[in-house]
């Protein structure tokens, strides 16, 4: 049988561990948001994503990326959250202490004119990856967008 002090020590350690997990979750959510917004910043602009050269599921993935760019350019935070971003991203944003729409509203104000182009798309079952190239401030950056199929539609889950 544990003493009262020993039980209190266990409780304090559990609270501390929970706080660490919460802080890690917040950092993870902030990182996820930063990565998506970095891609989003690079995805904005007057150009559009070309979807005509893709067929089948690859065309659907290209269309989701095009919709993401359009919604981002138009400041459509609600559409981004409801249609473009995967549940896992939305969950991470909520874990950071808010909701998806509010988090995006805070970040989208700084977006100006940027360009995104899809280089290739690979579909494997319910996941897809798209190699994209973005131009920001005259500098080109290559990234990979990971998409997942949720409820019959492709959603953006990560950007690396």
The CATH number of whichever domain residue 44 belongs to comes to: 3.10.450.50
| Count of structural domains within the chain | 1
Using an 8 Å Cβ cutoff, are 108 and 115 in contact?
A: no
Q: What are phi and psi of 45, to 5 degrees?
A: 140, -175
- Collect all residues with Cβ–Cβ distance below 8 Å to 54 and sequence separation of at least 6: 61, 62, 121
Evaluate whether 61 touches 121 at the Cβ level (below 8 Å). Answer: yes
pLDDT-above-70 percentage for the chain: 61
pLDDT in tens, 35-67: 455 444 444 444 456 666 899 999 999 999 999
- 69 and 44 in contact (C-beta within 8 Å)? yes
Q: What is the pTM of this model?
A: 0.69
The residue segments making up the domain with residue 59 are 4-159
pLDDT in tens, 111-127: 555 567 899 999 999 99
Give the span between the Cα atoms of 133 and 115, in whole angstroms. Answer: 8
Task: Flag whether pLDDT at 5 surpasses 80.
Answer: no
Burial class (CB in 10 A: 0-12, 13-18, 19+), 85: buried
């Amino acid at each position: 049988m544990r003493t009262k002090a020993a039980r209190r020590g266990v409780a304090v350690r559990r609270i501390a561990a929970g706080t660490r997990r919460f802080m890690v979750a917040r950092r993870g959510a902030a990182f996820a948001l930063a990565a998506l917004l970095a891609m989003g910043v690079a995805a904005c602009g007057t150009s559009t994503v070309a979807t005509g050269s893709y067929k089948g599921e690859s065309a659907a993935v290209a269309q989701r990326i095009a919709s993401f760019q359009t919604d981002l350019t138009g400041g459509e935070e609600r559409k981004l959250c409801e249609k473009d971003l995967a549940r896992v991203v939305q969950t991470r944003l909520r874990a950071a202490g808010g909701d998806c729409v509010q988090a995006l509203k805070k970040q989208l104000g700084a977006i100006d004119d940027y360009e995104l182009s899809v280089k290739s798309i690979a579909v494997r079952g319910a996941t897809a990856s798209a190699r994209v190239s973005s131009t920001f401030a005259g500098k080109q950056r290559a990234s990979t967008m990971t998409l997942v199929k949720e409820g019959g539609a492709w959603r953006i889950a990560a950007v690396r």
